[in-house]
Amino acid sequence: MKVLLFIASLLVTQWAHAGILSLDMSAGQAGSLASDNGWLDDDTQAIDFYTFELTTDTLLDFSVSAPGSVGLSLYASQLLFDPGFLFSNSSDFIDFTGNTYHYLAGTNAFFPGAGDNTLAAGWLAAGWYTLAVGGNEGFDMGGFNYTLMTTAGAMEVPEPASIALFLTLFTGLIMWRNTVKR
């Protein structure tokens, strides 16, 4: 099966036009979409794919500033090639080399034009991810420019002083309980 997908990828590669970009989470990413409904129609020629690696567990939120409605889908794994017609904006999909991309979160594909162009991805484990960004208007009035913003928050680790305070209070509570029993 992988051999057939590889052969198909060689045939389809010449028509592949998806933008596969590296996501810089420290600044806004400016992009341009060729169509108002690329994400809605699963048309990878009108979708930008952003790949990024997390080295620690991270809380992520994405927001897009654009004149129209934008669809967002997040997948576990790093996209290397345009998946073409195999792409799905709301479920797992494979590419022509047989790699699987697991759908994690996304905006609703059943209500074009709805939403506020945001995606609360939640806590993500360390690893590679791909974010698909495309038009979600439901009709095509042409392309538009957008800015993708990422908000990241690391998992908070308690300070040693906080742990010491907790242990002191807990020990005091146990000692008080023992004195009350006597």
Q: Among residues 134, 167, 160, 110, which one has the least CA distance to residue 36?
A: 134
Pick the most confident of 40-54, 84-98, 119-133.
119-133
Q: What does pLDDT average to over the chain?
A: 79
- C-alpha 102/C-alpha 110 separation (Å) is 19
Output the 3-class SS for the chain. CHHHHHHHHHHHHHHCCCEEEECCCCCCEEEEECCCCCCCCCCHHHEEEEEEEECCCEEEEEEEECCCCEEEEEEECCCCCCCHHHCCCCCCEECCCCCEEEEEEECCCCCCCCCCCEEEEEEECCEEEEEEEEECCCCCCCCEEEEEEEEEEECCCCCHHHHHHHHHHHHHHHHHHHHHHC
Higher confidence at residue 60 or residue 159?
60
Check residue 16 and give its pLDDT.
47
Cα distance between residue 43 and residue 20, in whole Å: 14
- Cα distance between residue 22 and residue 41, in whole Å: 23
Count of structural domains within the chain: 1
Residue with the larger pLDDT of the pair 169 and 110: 169
10-38 per-position pLDDT tens digit: 444 444 456 788 888 777 888 887 777 77
By residue range, what is the domain housing residue 28? Answer: 2-181
What distance separates the 2 farthest-apart alpha carbons in the chain?
84
What's the half-sphere exposure (Cβ side, CA atoms, 13 Å) at 40? 18
Structure tokens at 94: 């494979």
- 62-81, pLDDT tens digit by residue? 998 888 788 889 999 998 88
Query: What span, in angstroms and rounded, lies between the C-alpha atoms of 95 and 169?
Result: 56
Take residue 145 and report the two structure tokens written for it.
């420019």
pLDDT value at residue 127: 94
Say what percent of the chain tops pLDDT 70: 78
Task: Give the CATH number, domain containing residue 41.
Answer: 2.60.120.380
